[in-house]
A and B are shown apart, each in its own frame.
Chain A
């Protein structure tokens, strides 16, 4: 079975500062990894996806994440935070390589707060 742990339920950064949201996974097979963002009163939106093609994955809105197998991590970063980045961020894992049917296993989420 796979699982995801997000370290820090709340992260606060100043506008313009580096954003770092931590995610560690557990999986018995090479996983697919995802970051989703949920803005207030909206559904989740895919930020980026890792599928083993490249360890550094670039997503929307200037976010990127690096897959580190040795650390079983998939941390999300953004060089310079913007007020509009304030939201709930979820890391998720899937075992499927595209041919099967299964859901994503989500972490509990990290609430990102941007200080002006």
Chain B
């Protein structure tokens, strides 16, 4: 059983650019969620996808958007990058939405200069 994999592991962007982060869910998991973890902080919920539709969102602006594909893989897109977007972005999948039993990837470290 493969775990949650994320790519890229590290990337550097400049302010105003756009970025796409990718995630492959654990086998058999139909729900994927994304979290932002700033340095020294706990993860913050960005949004959740279930059956290819966003069905839950945290306190993040619309420039944070996502997709879930039929194979349950997912993308996180961030437009108009700001310096404060520098963080570790974590993808998590689960067998059942709302269970809280999340399987996390190792994250994508984004640095915005």
Q: Does A42 contact B (CB under 8 A)?
A: yes
Listed in ascending order, the chain A residues whose CB lies under 8 Å from chain B are 32, 34, 36, 41-46, 49, 90, 92, 94, 96-109
Given the interface pairs A103-B35, A103-B45, A103-B58, the reply to whether A92 lies near B106 with Cβ below 8 Å is no
Taking CB as reference atom, which chain B residue is nearest A102? B56
- Contact status A41-B42, CB under 8 Å: no
The A-contacting residues of B in range 1-19, CB under 8 angstroms, are: 4
- Contact status B106-A106, CB under 8 Å: no
- Contact status A102-B41, CB under 8 Å: no
Question: What residues of chain A lie closer than 8 Å to B44, measured between beta carbons?
Answer: 106
Q: Does B66 contact A (CB under 8 A)?
A: no
Taking CB as reference atom, which chain B residue is nearest A106? B42
Listed in ascending order, the chain B residues whose CB lies under 8 Å from chain A are 4, 31, 33, 35, 40-48, 50, 55-56, 58, 90, 92, 96-107
Taking CB as reference atom, which chain B residue is nearest A51? B100
Taking CB as reference atom, which chain B residue is nearest A97? B98
- Contact status B98-A100, CB under 8 Å: yes
Given the interface pairs A96-B100, A101-B55, A101-B97, the reply to whether A41 lies near B106 with Cβ below 8 Å is yes
- Contact status A104-B56, CB under 8 Å: no
Q: How far is the CA of A94 from the CA of B96 in the complex (A)?
A: 14
- Contact status A104-B48, CB under 8 Å: no
Q: How far is the CA of A97 from the CA of B41 in the complex (A)?
A: 26
Question: What residues of chain B lie closer than 8 Å to A106, measured between beta carbons?
Answer: 35, 42-44
- Contact status A44-B100, CB under 8 Å: no
Question: What residues of chain B lie closer than 8 Å to A105, measured between beta carbons?
Answer: 45
Scoring B47, B55, B100 by chain A CB atoms within 10 A of each residue's CB, the highest score goes to B100
